[in-house]
Structure 1
Amino acid sequence: MRKTYNSLILMLLATVSLSAQSPSTQTDFLESTGKIYVVVAVILLIFIGIIALLVYLERRLAKIERAHEDL
């Protein structure tokens, strides 16, 4: 069993080192055309939207909890 874990860890480490040596062509294409900034901007916009939604829901829930305590 231990031998299986050791070989699994060795394979995972080998794949990580191989992927670090050869960058993907899609990433190179996005960087060369400047579209990588669009991808980053869209991801940031999504995260900001999720955070804004969570803040809105937290405030609304706090308002409902205060109203419930007053009853």
Structure 2
Amino acid sequence: MKKITTFLVFLIISNYTFAQNQIEMATGLRSSGKIYVVVLVLLTIFVVLGIFLFMLDRRIKKLEK
């Protein structure tokens, strides 16, 4: 039980430290307006990946028949 508690405390502390660094980076990107470019690129990647997986699923279903 002590190992689990120690691990959870370590995980929370490391997550908090990572979040602080991430917030500073996001603030810099947001102030320069580049955050919208990052969001647009990520959204484009996810949409293209979703379309690709949907088309791949349809092709596999046709092959199974």
Instruction: State the TM-score, normalized to the length of structure 1.
Output: 0.68
d(CA) in 2 for partners of 1:49 and 1:62? 20
Q: CA deviation at 1:27?
A: 1.4
Larger Rg: 1
Task: Provide TM-score, normalisation by structure 2.
Answer: 0.73
Could you tell me how far 1:58 is from its partner in structure 2? Answer: 1.4
Residues 65 and 39 from structure 1, CA distance in 2 versus in 1: closer, same or farther, beyond 3 angstroms?
same
Please provide the CA RMSD for this pair: 2.2
State how far apart, in whole Å, the 2-side matches of 1:22 and 1:53 are: 34
Please tell me whether residue 36 in structure 1 is matched to residue 35 in structure 2: yes
The alignment covers a number of residue pairs equal to 65
User: Unmatched 5+ residue regions in structure 1?
Assistant: 67-71
Change (3 A) 1:35 1:21: closer
